[in-house]
Structure 1
Amino acid sequence: MIDLFTAATPNGKKIVIMLEELGIPYTKHMVDLKALEQKSPEFLAMNPNGRIPVIVDHEGPNGQKTTVFESGAILFYLAEKNGGKFFGANLTEKAHCLQWVMFQMSAIGPNFGNYHYGKHYMEKQVPEFIERFEKESKRLITVLNSQLTKHKYVAGDNYTIADITTYTWVSGFAQNNAEWFAEAPSILRWLSLVGERPAVQKGMA
């Protein structure tokens, strides 16, 4: 059994999708981010960085309870624990998958997130701030679209954790900033394909 501590954010939804894809029993604990529950002593004992998501695997390696935080690390842990499912059969496949996971975590997430923050949450909008992250976000869209023009899925011909981690971020922006994706047909094709998966639909609900 796994305890999942999460919230309705792109990073939180990734783990629900992965658990549903794997068919692993889990209990979902919603963390109230506005009430700063993620900063409570109990939560910080699981993740010193005070961020969701976190999993507690009560049947970890060697039967030991294992706690994992950071969405990318959790996806890696769950994939490896389940025979490399949605990750890769060999080191080359895993490296190709992991590089696109890192692309989302180091590029898409921070840039999309900062744009959204600057556009919707800053008390006083700073045009230069918004422009910076909008420009970089649009560049990243062209990179992703180019990759998906060559491949069925983000990391190649198979559905992997690279798709899970990227979908939760890109899908919302494709709905709310449709003009950004007007010249990214391969991304739209991929969004439709991944969005048909039952586990993805449940995780995004």
Structure 2
Amino acid sequence: MIDLYYWPTPNGHKVTLLLEELGLPYQIKPVNIGAGDQFKPEFLAISPNNKMPALVDHQPADGGAPQSVFESGEILLYLAEKTGRFLPADSRGRVAVLEWLFWQMAGLGPMSGQMGHFNVYAPEQIPYAIERYNNEVRRLHGVMDKRLADSAYLGGAEYSIADMASYPWIGAYDKLPVDFAAFPHLKRWHEAIAARPATQRAYALRQQVNPDAGKPLSDAERKHLFGQR
């Protein structure tokens, strides 16, 4: 059994996308980041950077004590290696998938998050920041579109953890729709992943875990999310 410490954010969705594809038994341990659950000592013991998702695998491949894992990219890699799925075994295929996984972790996720912050959550509009991150995310969408013009998926011909890492960050904010007309290959890819039954099961967890998703943040929630040092 796997304990998944989760809240329905793009980084949380990455892991449920993979778990639903794998069919591994898991149970969700909600981490209400608006309420500050990420700062509780028991959570920090497995995720010292006070970020979700994190997981505890009670049946690790080595048969030893439960294994805790934090950082969404490493969780995807850990589960792919544990099961031998969604990560190619050949060295060149593996390199391609990991290139795009790390690209998402270093670029698409952080830049999309900053775009969302300054457009949706910031208490005041800062035109320079808005333009900076809007432009960078659009550039990254263009990078994806160019790759997907020549490849069915980011890592190659097969769906992989690279796609699961990037998918939740495309159109993550309702107020910031993606210009799919400018990126037709990205649109094709996004629609194909959205149609997968595992994707639909993963996203159905959003309302189950956080029925208040999409509501304006309270001052206390803002403090927990953006006011920590």
Task: Name the TM-score, length of structure 1 as normaliser.
Answer: 0.95
Give the whole-Å Cα distance in 1 for the aligned partners of 2:129 and 2:24. 42
- How far did residue 62 of structure 1 move? 2.1
Give the whole-Å Cα distance in 1 for the aligned partners of 2:134 and 2:54. 30
Deviations 1:112-145 (A, max 9, x none): 1101000111111111011110111111111000
Asked if residue 19 in structure 1 is aligned to residue 41 in structure 2, the reply is no
Deviations 1:10-29 (A, max 9, x none): 00011111111111000011
Give the whole-Å Cα distance in 2 for the aligned partners of 1:192 and 1:24. 25
Q: Give the 3-state SS of the residue equivalent to 1:62 in structure 2.
A: coil
Aligned position for 1:97: 97
Deviations 1:149-179 (A, max 9, x none): 1011111110000111111111435x64346
Paired residues, number: 203
Which residue identity is paired with 1:69? F
Give the whole-Å Cα distance in 1 for the aligned partners of 2:199 and 2:171. 11
Q: Percent identity?
A: 40
Give the whole-Å Cα distance in 2 for the aligned partners of 1:164 and 1:11. 10
Give the whole-Å Cα distance in 1 for the aligned partners of 2:125 and 2:179. 20
Give the whole-Å Cα distance in 2 for the aligned partners of 1:126 and 1:171. 21
Q: What do you get for the CA RMSD once the two structures are aligned?
A: 1.2
Aligned position for 1:58: 58
**Residue segments in structure 1 that go unaligned for 5+ positions in a row:** none
Give the whole-Å Cα distance in 2 for the aligned partners of 1:171 and 1:126. 21
Task: Report the CA distance shift for 1:106/1:198 in structure 2 as closer, same or farther (over 3 A).
Answer: same
Asked if residue 40 in structure 1 is aligned to residue 40 in structure 2, the reply is yes
Task: Report the CA distance shift for 1:46/1:179 in structure 2 as closer, same or farther (over 3 A).
Answer: closer
Kindly report structure 1 stretches of 4+ aligned residues shifted beyond 6 Å: none
Aligned position for 2:144: 144
Give the whole-Å Cα distance in 2 for the aligned partners of 1:195 and 1:180. 17
Give the whole-Å Cα distance in 2 for the aligned partners of 1:153 and 1:99. 13
* 1:144–1:187 Cα contact (<8 Å) kept: yes
Give the whole-Å Cα distance in 2 for the aligned partners of 1:171 and 1:179. 6
- How far did residue 196 of structure 1 move? 1.1
* Structure showing the higher helix proportion among its residues: 1
